[in-house]
Chain A
Amino acid sequence: MPELQDQPALTIQGLRHRYAPNQPPSLIVPELVLNTSEQMVLTGSSGSGKSTLLHLIAGLMDPSEGTIRVAGTCPQSLRGQARDKFRGRTIGMVFQTHHLLMGFSALENVMAALMFSDIPRGSHRARAKSLLDTLGIATPDQRVERLSVGQQQRVAIARALACDPVLVLADEPTASLDPENAQAALDLLQQACRSSGSALLCVTHDTRLINRFDRNQHLPAPHEQLQETGGGA
């Protein structure tokens, strides 16, 4: 897919989102471009719409205004199954709470990310195993509920990277970890993205993470932005 390589991993223009038509916007992003393999952190207090932004990028919601393109494709232009498939193939997500599938092994959790893609089934196991190995999970057949919190987050990272996504979205990936584990997890996430060539967009309220990223940007809460520009909705 040479065209995909040429496109930025993420482009956002004139994005505004409201939960209901008559309400003030809950999220405003005038412009944002993230190039291939670039790593960026967006900081913002709670209420700035950080999680909403990630859900919009992932095509789990439709924005009220503006356009989002992931590797040149607007997820909102895709319908139903096509959009789900696009998300599975192009975007990896890491959450604050890992959201692993309970009752399944680490290996199965990673393979679950592959099962909805067009990657040949025969390669799933080896691929998942080597990813977990890279991330330091020595017991891939262990059920995830038996792993430590730090290990669980590593499995979640492996799962996000399973399909070699163009873009990895991380929503407060370190918030549920102690400082030591947080460091380690972030190191692994950034390293893994680099080696797979995936762009990384991380949203967090923790400003201490800023220095670790190529770029950082503050995402002000919408009411602050509206006061600055003096613009209304």
Chain B
Amino acid sequence: MSMSDWNIVTRSMRHRFFSSTITVLSVAVACGLVTLLISMRNAGENSFKRGTGNVQMLISKEPGPLPSVLNSMFYAQAPGNPITWAQFQQLKSSYPFAWAIPTQLGDSYQDAPVMGTDLSFFTSFQPAAGLSWSLQSGTYFEEPFQLVLGSDAAARLGLSLGDSISLEHGAPRTQGGHTHDEFEFSVVGILEPTGTAHDRAMFTSLESSWILHAHDRREAIFGHGIVTIADDLIEEDKKITAVYASLGDRKAALVQVLSALRRDPDWTVANPADTVGGLFSIVSNIDQVLLAMAIAVMLSSGVSILLALYNSMEQRRRQIAVLRVLGASRARVFGLVLTESAIIGLLGGVLGLGIALIGGMLVSTALAQRVGIVVEPALPIDGYLMIVLATVALSCLAGVIPALAAYRTSVVRSLRPVG
């Protein structure tokens, strides 16, 4: 194999291994950060929309659509204003719903929110488009005081089938909560993961939730030590906090029903997908700031390529002068330095994608476990290609000044004997 410009470049890089490595790493970190930010931004909105599934309307008495969606679909906080059972029945009969699922939030176990609902939650509601509920093990609840756990809740709290626990009244992280030791809930089912916030939650029948609340009411009247059963429930105890509803395929009717409900001051209605979209348009300012930061990091790593190559020029003047003596033209030594910066850009870019993919996996795992949001930080393949190309282009740009220094190197001066 004869010598080529490529040999010269790669050998010189290896000869200055430490400085080449540091430069490549700094490019890789910058490129990784930019890629991660861009892909996260892409993934964030998609994954948030995912959790809203096939719900066309979320109906509640919350102050507005956004808190309503965040509280009742993403379990941010316990919803405030309850809906009575009678109001729900009336709502249901007033509009041509394909399905309307009552949900009640307010209790929790450790950090996991507990949702009271009925079995239609598992049969009609799809947590993500095209995805139906299924069980890892056990069954859905059939009687009061039976719990079905979201996959994350089960894994995180280390609960398995047959375990008994006591719930706390009040949503997670709220003050004034108390534990209902009088009621033992048993785990009867564990759900398959859905990649939505619902994985963090636990599910039980509405009746169980109502009995907890009825017990509080009755204790205030009759004192400690009383027993509350389903028969003790009165109309006042039967409250829910939101309704997941859909008209099915009747898109035309949807517009009418939405506008009718919006006009009704008794109800807050949200189209969950739109609400989440709206949320992201608010957040997009922040993410432009992040993008600007990423670009700044990228530029600073461009400067570090420039400095690394420029400093190495001092050591390399002799090498360049020797190559010139051997017959290399100015243009060729210019090309050599530019090739080196392109290689740094390419290595840094590819390594950066690796960092971004691993970082993305870590972040998405953390998000999925902590927040129950599935973020898939992936870009289309040409997106990755663009990022690598941009990194190489930026590196070449940073290489121009050192390459010019190589171009201008005075052979005569650089070959003077040392000492």
Interface residues of A (CB under 8 A from B): 51, 55, 58, 60-61, 80-81, 84-85, 87-89, 93, 95-97, 99-104, 108, 111-117, 121-122, 124-125, 159, 163, 172, 175-176
Contact = CB atoms under 8 A, between A and B. Distances in A.
Contact of A116 (B318, B328, B417): B328
Nearest to B322: A99
Contact of A88 (B2, B326, B415, B418): B326
Interface stretch (B9-17, B119-127, B186-194, B259-267): B9-17
B256 to A, nearest CB: 77
A115 B319 contact: no
A55 B412 CA distance: 7
B1 to A, nearest CB: 7
B14 A111 contact: no
Interface string B301-341: 00000000000000000110111111111111000000000
Given A88-B326, A124-B2, 12 more contacts: A51-B416, A80-B329, A81-B331, A87-B325, A88-B327, A95-B415, A97-B417, A102-B319, A108-B7, A112-B323, A115-B3, A163-B327
Nearest to A105: B11
16 contacts: A60-B411, A80-B329, A81-B330, A84-B324, A85-B327, A87-B325, A88-B327, A96-B417, A101-B11, A103-B12, A104-B11, A112-B3, A114-B2, A115-B5, A115-B326, A116-B328
B418 to A, nearest CB: 6
Given A81-B331, A93-B325, A117-B327, A99 B415 contact: yes
B4 interface: yes
A156 to B, nearest CB: 10
B11 A84 contact: no
A133 B265 CA distance: 98
B8 interface: yes
Interface string B1-41: 11111011001101100000000000000000000000000
| Interface size range on B against A | 20 to 34
B37 to A, nearest CB: 38
Which interface residue of A61, A87, A103 has the most chain B CB atoms within 10 A? A103
Contact of A89 (B5, B325, B327, B418): B327
Interface of chain B, helix or strand or loop or mixed?
helix
Contact of B417 (A80, A95, A114, A125): A95
Nearest to B318: A99
B193 to A, nearest CB: 53
Which interface residue of B11, B14, B321, B322 has the most chain A CB atoms within 10 A? B322
Contacts of B4: 115
B415 to A, nearest CB: 6
A17 B330 CA distance: 24
Contact of A125 (B1, B5, B322): B1
A95 B418 CA distance: 11
Given A103-B11, A103-B12, A104-B11, A87 B1 contact: no
B326 A116 contact: yes
Given A95-B415, A125-B1, A80 B327 contact: no
Given A103-B12, A115-B2, A61 B329 contact: no
B2 A61 contact: no
Nearest to A159: B326
B5 to A, nearest CB: 8
A112 B418 contact: no
A96 B411 CA distance: 15
Contacts of A87: 325, 327
Contacts of B418: 97
Interface string B405-419: 000000110011110
A71 to B, nearest CB: 15
Contacts of A103: 11-12, 14-15
A84 to B, nearest CB: 4
A85 B332 CA distance: 11
A95 to B, nearest CB: 6
Given A60-B325, A60-B412, A102-B319, A80 B330 contact: yes
Contacts of B8: 101, 112
Nearest to B327: A88
A104 B412 CA distance: 23
Which interface residue of A80, A85, A97 has the most chain B CB atoms within 10 A? A97
Contacts of B1: 125
Contact of B319 (A95, A101, A124): A101
Nearest to B326: A113
Nearest to B418: A97
Contact of A108 (B3, B5, B322, B330): B3
Contacts of B332: 84, 116
Interface in B210-225: none
A205 to B, nearest CB: 12
Given A108-B3, A108-B7, A121-B2, A58 B329 contact: no
Contacts of B326: 88, 112-113, 115-116, 159
A5 to B, nearest CB: 21
Per CB-CB distance, the 10 closest pairs between chain A and chain B, nearest first, are: A88-B327, A103-B15, A116-B327, A124-B2, A81-B329, A111-B3, A84-B329, A121-B2, A115-B3, A96-B417
A172 B418 CA distance: 13
Given A102-B15, A108-B7, A114-B2, A85 B329 contact: yes
Contacts of A115: 2-5, 326
Nearest to A124: B2
Interface string B385-419: 00000000000000000000000000110011110
